[in-house]
A and B are shown apart, each in its own frame.
Chain A
Amino acid sequence: MLQIRNLCKNFGALAATNDVTLNVDEGTIHALIGPNGAGKTTLISQISGYLTPTSGSIKFDGQDLLAMPAHLRPHAGLVRSFQVTSVFPDLSVIENVCLVLQSMNHQVFSLFRPAVADKAERAEAMEILERVALENEAETTTRNLAHGQKRQVEIAMALAARPKLLLLDEPMAGMGAEESRQITTLLDGLRGSITMLLVEHDMDVVFGLADKVSVLVYGKVIASDTPRNIRLDPEVQRAYLGGHEFHDRSA
């Protein structure tokens, strides 16, 4: 579904993305792990169009992504969430979701009909909020939410865009244990219907969810394999996992 070939991104002398080749197969949850500064968010930003690569190619669903402006990528089914919470703080929670729905329904330029009159849109938004367990906060101004709840809004917005491929940049960062479990279950339930590229630091989440894991170190993919093999890979152990033992929950 997503093919990245020889992708490079240089910031001056720094090679933030260094000859990355990566495939994300349709229907899988593909985790991307690596130490801080490995270039995970930089890679996500290039796939979503926030950054332009220095060289290389990205194909999505057979289309050349680099020729596609960032704002058209969500309409093609490529949607991202943000590591640093990025919501619309003065809109209510449900309006954040409705805004995504109106974009997907091509109603950005609906000039006269009152936005609140679209009952179908609100019902759909409410359904999505229920999935991320935010239905009780629908009318709350988003800036007044707790940090973990804002992370849930972020997920709700991503789901509202009806993604085929979801780029999740540390979706659970800053969530409480309970919320984190909820979202993990939610993502697990979406397996097969939505392809995901998941950046995550919580190894329990990664090894519990991922069908495949790629390890990024200094902008390079040093390994890309099943969770079991990744754990046993001596190079990965050395570079990142630091010799920690991980419980194999899938076994």
Chain B
Amino acid sequence: MISERHLPKLMALGVLVLLLLPLMLNASGSSYLISTATRLVIFAIAAVSLDLLIGYTGLVSFGHAAFLGVGAYTVGILSFHAYEGDTFFGLPGTLSGLIVLPLAVALSALVALAIGALSLRTKGVYFIMITLSFGQMLFFLFVSLEKYGGDDGMMMFDGRITLPGLDLNDRMSFYYFCLACLIAFFWFCRRLVASKFGRTLQAIRQNEARLSSIGIRSYTAKLLIFVIAGAGAGLAGALSANHTEFVSPALTHWTRSGDLMIVVILGGIGTLLGPVLGTIVFLLLEEFLPLILHSVGLDLLSEHWRFVLGPILILIVLFAKSGIYGLLFRSRE
């Protein structure tokens, strides 16, 4: 195990690897994997945002994919109207990233504010159920949007959003843009959890009932972190829509929320870095497990690769209390 003292150095190394990754993939002739790497980076943003809730505040939110959906549909709907050349409630569509991205994040934050304001009145299992319900409500809302493809979703025919000085339709540029978003968001979250507000969040997780006696209203603090986490997931959703140039309700299905929870728990809750590691392991397994199973002749399992993924997850959760992070790092104490 590695001491947590070396964490800053290792994270710098990790960033370096992520920066060089596309070049290495290009050099080794497997540039198609850049798309996988991009997906990984986007997924990690969502996982880190969920860790703020589950790991730091102790809020097990089972509807986090809802905010992915809000971010993605903001991008999709604006792109749809830009392509059609018509308007949405009197507003024209657009592909301008400077409008679309802030709007996607702001709308996700707004939806998180509404969902959080109601859900955070409940605790424990009820909170899990109510966030799950809100997630499913949004899922069915998106399914019912016939104009935007309903069940099937919609293509973004004009391609990705535009940014001045950056061609996001180039997969290298898009990868680096997503990576910049991940690094910025990760840095933001590190600052956040180390602040006095972060200390409040940990106090909520450890002994929420005690807070009012020292003059802190936990509800307000929980609502703020719920909004911040929702905004983070909204950013991931907006990037995801651009990545696939396709938006569909599948993004907000409850199994997506489940995947995010798995990644956070697998990686190690309350560590921020853990969920990033969890994402890497999860997506690598998803990508390569079927291939590996196929190559050793287990074709039936290769088709139902999740059948193998399940036990692997159970083993990690059973034997590594703080997930992959806990396996790798020794706490400073």
Interface residues of A (CB under 8 A from B): 48-50, 69-75, 79-80, 82, 86-91, 95, 98-100, 102-104, 107-116, 118, 141, 157, 161
Contact = CB atoms under 8 A, between A and B. Distances in A.
B321 interface: no
A103 B212 contact: no
B215 interface: yes
7 contacts: A71-B212, A72-B215, A102-B196, A103-B214, A107-B196, A157-B214, A161-B214
**8 closest pairs, A vs B, by CB?**
A74-B215, A71-B212, A110-B196, A70-B212, A71-B217, A103-B215, A88-B206, A100-B214
Q: Which of A50, A98, A108 has the most CB of B within 10 A?
A: A108
Q: Which of B197, B217, B224 has the most CB of A within 10 A?
A: B197
Nearest to B192: A111
Interface string B230-247: 000000000000000000
B202 A88 contact: yes
B206 A89 contact: yes
Interface of B: 191-192, 194-200, 202-203, 206-207, 209-217, 221, 224, 333
Contacts, number: 93
B194 A161 contact: no
Contacts of A157: 214
B212 A115 contact: no
A82 B213 CA distance: 10
A99 B203 contact: yes
A140 to B, nearest CB: 10
A48 B192 contact: no
A190 B202 CA distance: 32
Nearest to A160: B214
B213 A70 contact: yes
A86 B209 CA distance: 9
B202 A113 contact: no
Contacts of A109: 197, 221, 224
Nearest to B214: A100
Contact of B217 (A69, A100, A110): A69
Contacts of A82: 210, 213
A70 B219 CA distance: 13
A110 B197 contact: yes
B224 A74 contact: no
Given A69-B217, A104-B215, A99 B200 contact: yes
Nearest to A79: B213
Given A86-B207, A86-B209, A90-B206, A99 B217 contact: no
Nearest to B270: A90
A217 B333 CA distance: 48
B207 A88 contact: yes
Given A86-B209, A89-B207, A113 B195 contact: yes
A66 to B, nearest CB: 15
A236 B194 CA distance: 53
Nearest to B197: A111
A49 B215 CA distance: 11
A108 B196 contact: yes
Contacts of B212: 49-50, 69-71
B208 to A, nearest CB: 10
A110 B216 CA distance: 13
A113 B196 contact: yes
A104 B207 CA distance: 18
Contact of A112 (B195, B206, B217): B195
Given A91-B206, A112-B195, A48 B200 contact: no
Given A86-B210, A103-B216, A108-B221, 10 more contacts: A48-B213, A79-B214, A90-B206, A91-B202, A99-B200, A103-B215, A108-B196, A115-B198, A141-B333, A161-B214
